[in-house]
Amino acid sequence: MLTPMFQKLITTGVACLVLVSLVAGCTSKKKDPPNTVHLSISAKLKGLDPVNADDMYSGIQSSHAYEGLLQYHYLKRPYVLTPNLAESMPEVSADGKTLTIKIKKGVLFQDDPCFKATGGKGREFEASDIVYSWKRLADPKLTSSGWWVFDGKIVGLNEWHDESAKAGTSDYAKPVEGLKILDRYTLQVKLTQRSAQILYALAMPFTFVVPHEGPEMYGQEYINHAVGTGAFKLQEYDPNSKVVWVRNPTYRKELFPSEGEAKDKESGLLEDAGKPLPLTDKLVYQILVESQPAWLSFLAGKLDLSPIPKDNYSQAIGSNKQLNPELAAKGIKFAKEPQLDITHTSFNMTDPLVGKNKLLRQALSIGYDDVQYIETFYNGQALAAQGPIPPGITGYDLAFKNSYRVYDVAKAKDLLAKAGFPEGKGLPPLEYITLADSTSRQSTEYMQKMMSAIGVQLKVSTYSWPEFQASVKNKKGQMWSFAWGADYPDAENFLQLFYGKNGSPGPNDSNYLNPEFDKLYEKALLLQDSPERTAIYQQMVKIVVEDCPWIFGSHRLNMALTYPWLKNFKYHEFDHAKAKYYRVDPLLKK
């Protein structure tokens, strides 16, 4: 039993807690300016360091503070690259192997205590910062998941990487031949070979610019800080619940685009043309892993933008595929766009069982019904994938049918027997790793159901998103489900997921290795967009499909609902920093 003294202590403690939370609640509410944009993320964050921003969630967050040399035009379609930190588009030499990049002058890093020399004032961004940031990408100690974007592409950078790995420390002062600083504002990049994708790489979060003062001051803690040139400054960061960004007061003069697609004008997307960015003073991201709290927050008007969770589809969209009148009456807008993505279940190709038994993988692939999955989990709003390349990207072949993706239990059992496990006998339960939220559990149950129908049992382990990614990178587990969204509009971005050298911690998460595929991949890298390259892409798809390192899932549709007060929302596949274009009209939000 509690003694009176203890009771008193506890009562006082509780009273204090209540008081503190009340005060905290009041102050945080008071501070929010009326044009604050409220958004949500559906996964816990692993950090803000751009060199490890390989997932959409951390990519979006780090893109608020950091910037790359290039960016995508927000409104124009098809997607086009425009200069960001670069003064103009890089000059490419005639042989395609030298890039000369001029950067904008007078761009300042955000104020941060790490700039000790200036007493916390952010200094000017210069060409040497790019070299530093790209060396970080190659730093073996940082085990960047984005090293693949430069691996083997810049003269001397691989040597720097190998020497650093050998020495155990990375010497950032040591020059790299392919990264030459011509003057304070000019960088020359020498490529090992012509590359069709290198410019896209300059718009990916991995290559965003980090000042050396940041990592030097914060060390391993740097993942919890963000010091860049971006439009927003980190105010509050809790990787499990909330991220708050405020307008960066020293942000350079960057304007809202004044041209776009023909329909953009009538849909009001050009109303803010020419206005300085960002248009909002504050961005608040709630981390809501479960879909229902996010949906309810949206309905309550606490979030300005929301996807449609699977269980709320019929609540939001009527049988005529239009927004339900109840939501339409609130002025909510509905946007539906095909996503350049692919969902898939990876097999661990380094695993002695599933990695070495092609027939087993093919059996599991045939035994998995994706049509029913799309109906149950995407309300029919997705396309069953036949290969890695989604429609909308050159290399996608509408006529191509993957013979291992035609659901057939009898054939699956037959293949399983040929693989050495008739009726699943002798096959130990396969270790399937997945996420811990309710929808993931249901989709895992679906997988278990499919597999047990052909006699295969699964042993399930569940993790949070950062733990899940770490497990995949450490090659734990035998199967897991993932989705890949395009980083740039080139099929190469999907095919590099199978390139041998991109194995863990790179994006080839199944660690698929086929020399024949790699040879074709390397050949295609040298080619510009052409029928010849497309033919090679399609040949590569056939090889992958036959080897079956993945069970190909589906290409999804992005469905977004926005309140009328959120202005300038336009679906963008690649621009992670799009929130800088968002504006909230406080008059409409009452």
Judged by CB under 8 A, the residue of 438, 474, 530, 539 near another protein is 438
Judged by CB under 8 A, the residue of 312, 343, 345, 357 near another protein is 312
Q: Residue 422 class from Cβ within 10 Å (0-12 exposed, 13-18 middle, 19+ buried)? A: middle
Task: Report d(CA 308, CA 382) in Å as an integer.
Answer: 14
Q: How far is the CB of 428 from another protein (least distance, A)?
A: 15
User: Which of 323, 326, 382, 308 lies closest to 553 in space, CA to CA?
Assistant: 382
Calculate the CA dihedral of residues 353, 359, 360, 364 and round it to 10 degrees.
150
Give yes or no for residue 557 binding another protein (CB under 8 A).
no
Give yes or no for residue 462 binding another protein (CB under 8 A).
yes
Binding mask 372-391 for another protein (x = CB under 8 A): ----x---------------
Smaller CB distance to another protein: residue 310 or 473?
A: 310
Give the interface segment with another protein, choosing from 166-174, 312-320, 335-343, 468-476 (CB under 8 A).
Answer: 312-320
Smaller CB distance to another protein: residue 459 or 519?
A: 459
Residue 208 CA from chain centroid, whole number: 14
- The beta strands (E) that lie in 106-192 are given as 179-183, 186-190
Smaller CB distance to another protein: residue 290 or 522?
A: 290
Q: How far is the CB of 436 from another protein (least distance, A)?
A: 5
Q: How far is the CB of 96 from another protein (least distance, A)?
A: 51
Smaller CB distance to another protein: residue 35 or 291?
A: 291
Task: Report d(CA 28, CA 442) in Å as an integer.
Answer: 36
Q: Where would I find the H helices in 78-201? A: 127-138, 157-167, 198-201
Give yes or no for residue 467 binding another protein (CB under 8 A).
no
Task: Report d(CA 453, CA 455) in Å as an integer.
Answer: 6
Give yes or no for residue 7 binding another protein (CB under 8 A).
no
Give yes or no for residue 309 binding another protein (CB under 8 A).
yes
Q: Residue 427 class from Cβ within 10 Å (0-12 exposed, 13-18 middle, 19+ buried)? A: buried
Cβ atoms 465, 43 nearer than 8 A: yes
Judged by CB under 8 A, the residue of 448, 471, 504, 538 near another protein is 448
In 10 A of CB 1, how many CB atoms?
4
Task: Report d(CA 468, CA 443) in Å as an integer.
Answer: 16
Task: Report d(CA 328, CA 138) in Å as an integer.
Answer: 50
Cβ atoms 472, 433 nearer than 8 A: yes
Q: How many residues bind another protein (CB under 8 A)?
A: 27
Give yes or no for residue 271 binding another protein (CB under 8 A).
no
Give yes or no for residue 290 binding another protein (CB under 8 A).
yes
Category of 548 on φ-ψ map: left (φ > 0), alpha (ψ -120 to 50) or beta: left
Cβ atoms 296, 77 nearer than 8 A: no
Task: Report d(CA 221, CA 478) in Å as an integer.
Answer: 32
Give yes or no for residue 461 binding another protein (CB under 8 A).
yes
Binding mask 156-185 for another protein (x = CB under 8 A): ------------------------------
Hey, is 514 helix, strand or coil?
Answer: coil
Q: How far is the CB of 39 from another protein (least distance, A)?
A: 21
Give yes or no for residue 589 binding another protein (CB under 8 A).
no
Give yes or no for residue 98 binding another protein (CB under 8 A).
no
Smaller CB distance to another protein: residue 81 or 323?
A: 323
Give yes or no for residue 267 binding another protein (CB under 8 A).
no
Instruction: Supply 63's token pair.
Output: 């893109």
Give yes or no for residue 211 binding another protein (CB under 8 A).
no
Q: How far is the CB of 220 from another protein (least distance, A)?
A: 24
Judged by CB under 8 A, the residue of 196, 199, 419, 460 near another protein is 460
Q: Which residues bind another protein (CB under 8 A)?
A: 290-292, 295, 309-312, 314-315, 376, 436-439, 441-442, 444-446, 448-449, 452, 458, 460-462
